[in-house]
Structure 1
Amino acid sequence: MWQISDAELLDAATAAETRLRQAYAESVHLLSELDNRGVATKIGYSNTPALLMHTLRISRADARHRLAQANDLHPTTTPTGSVIDPVLPQTSQALARGEVGSEHVDVIRKTLADLPHLDTEQRATAEQVMLDRAAEDDPKALTRFATRVRDIVDPDGPPPTDDEPKRPERMLRRHIRRDGTLEFKGHLDLESAQLFENLLKPFEKPHPEGNDTRGYAERAGDAFADVLKMAAHSPDLPTHNGVRTEVAVTITYQELQHALDNAVLTDNTSLTARDARRLACDARIIPAVLGTDSQPLDVAVPAYTTPAHIRRALVLRDRGCSFPACDRPSNVCDSHHVLEWRKGGPTKLKNLALLCQHHHRLIHHSDWQAEMVNGRPQFIPPAYVDPSRTPRRNHIHGPLPRTA
């Protein structure tokens, strides 16, 4: 092959792909005929996929996939002997010419299956529109284009039926598990869905440290939690019976004082003492402290651990999460006591640092250490991150620019 030019090599690869598609079209046509004749049952197999698994040495999933395509691309024969026309005759011809591949066929099948209300003429038009795009687009791009097919072929959509109940534009179903975690599902109208996406996208990016092992779903879940935290910090948050939402944590005095992982309860939900101390850094809590016989020693008046005026100063100073390289904004951050309040750390600006939920948890649960130097927080990495344990600061937010 070294003797042929780059252009000739590319032409040869394109011609080989065309032959491959044509061969696949022939294979699918043969499988359609095998299935219509009932060859599998005639020779003792339960169905055609079981036969293909042995003869073609393919998986059952692959066999079913090819037969599903064959049924849409070619005529099928019912048990009574009647013949049903192919669902996608134009796609069948394009595949036989090698103009589209198996993945293109899947996209076209799914697109038309999602438009069951189209009449025969509209279906033919939609199929041809998809084939025109497939001549230029890869299957992924064709999938994106498929969302526009309905607007092109049938912009008015199906007429609503009088007896069909109207689906709510917004709906949310939620279920609290026994361990206190929440399951939910629902749907939003177009405007709310766009707002939801726009709120989540800035927070679901991987952590800038470069060692983020979370999958997309986990990052989206953390982003949703950040949005909830941002809403909780909003001054316009609605009240319930005149007060903001609050959580009552019940814990023994000894567990609160010492770094123990014993279980505590908040509304009958398990919570570790370590988590309770993290929440106490910046939450509206009602501490109910118990004695040795589980007798209440004190139920305090609810109060913000960090007063509003101090938090405002903290936001002006840190401008966001103060952990190195974190770009999370201040409205999703907690106020962290650098010297823990249980060890006498004051709730003062010189002892506080803004931390997002991810890094707040990291500071409480790992060997990272925080310290205040010249009135600003800095962080000492564990030895397995940096053997020299050189202190680090956040340089993303930076100090506010000076005004003249």
Structure 2
Amino acid sequence: MREVVEKLSEAASACAEAPLWPLPDAELLGFLNGVYQAQQVLHAALLHAVREVEGRGIPQKENVATANMWMRTRLLITSREAGGLLAQARLLDADPAVDALVKAGEVNASQLAVISSVLGELPASLDAESRLQASRLLGDWAPVLDPVELRRAGNRILAHVEPDEGDAAEEERLRRRERDVHAHRYFTLSPLGDGRISLRGMLDAESAAVVSAALDPLCSPAGAAAEQAETGEARTPEQRRADALVEICRGMLAGGTLPENGGDRPQVTVTAAFDVLKGELTSGVLDDGEPVSASTVRRMACDARLLPLVMDGPGQVLDAGRTRRLVSGSLRQALVARDRGCTFPGCDRPSRWCDGHHVRPWSEGGTTDLGNVTLLCGYHHRVVHDANSGWEVRMGDDGHPEFLPPPHLDPARRPRRNQFHRRT
């Protein structure tokens, strides 16, 4: 298998390096189609490998919280891309007919996602033969329909495979789809690394109506002309909606009606040197690691509770006020400033989802101060406390936590650190 993969890599490199300018139009288009089809077939091979990794439980063996997180770290891809690969791999494993279409290069990744969705909406009472017929019809349509057109055609698949079902079946399909859409709702915020945060999500129609009703009063275009006359700048509809979302969240934070999170009331944290507040330096850092300008730091400080922290060059907090027994208040703020999130190697969980863990247990005389506590998410907190996991945590010479892996992962047990939250 290794030789096959090496030959594939060599062939792909040859295609990538081949000059295309001498090719006539017909040959160029043939090259485009051929490379794309080969890419889709290789996509099937990738999905088979993904499913095998998940089936063997390799992420769990390496003490990674989820298969998605393992994929992101292993392949250096986004969480969204990892989730897509896992979902498609599970579909091919469950449906050999669709698997065969993908292996033949007749269905691409986008069409595969549509077929998965359509087949998942079929009634549970539908017999296996009708399901197979639906799968084959979708496969027949795929070579001539793009994903949007395939989705529209798939919405009426029952009319082709079970025409006697009639309106009752269509009504049940719509109800089931509404339930499924609600079950698959999600919302993510993903840093792009350039100061922008990508918002992605999915809501059912009813929930989207609620969100729109809350946003509309704050982003109505009615005052756009007056706004432009006053400020000289007109916001786009997309910008108005973005500003409205922030204003709603800002109001909730100011109102103090949100539940506690990580032992404290929800709050926005910015870490900056004291001189930034006087305008002598240039930037600060939010609790998710994103840098902000000095002017933004000063603006946020105008209406905020300030917690002084003394830090050295490597980012170690030297003083955060009085030591507490519980990891809360000023101690937790100092811990967030140092660790920025779960410190277990490879984990991307933010500080808001983490507990304070005593490196030397409190019950054994361990103190509750920065030299003996670190942030761990719930999953990795359990891993560290599980004696059978083989993982150990200790404080390094620079005052930052490091982890010793079990011998079966690294016989030398070389210390590992979380690189995800590093800012430099």
User: Which structure is higher in helix share?
Assistant: 2
Same fold (TM > 0.5): no
Q: What is the TM-score when the length of structure 1 is the normalising length?
A: 0.37
For the pair shown, the structure with the greater C-alpha radius of gyration is: 1
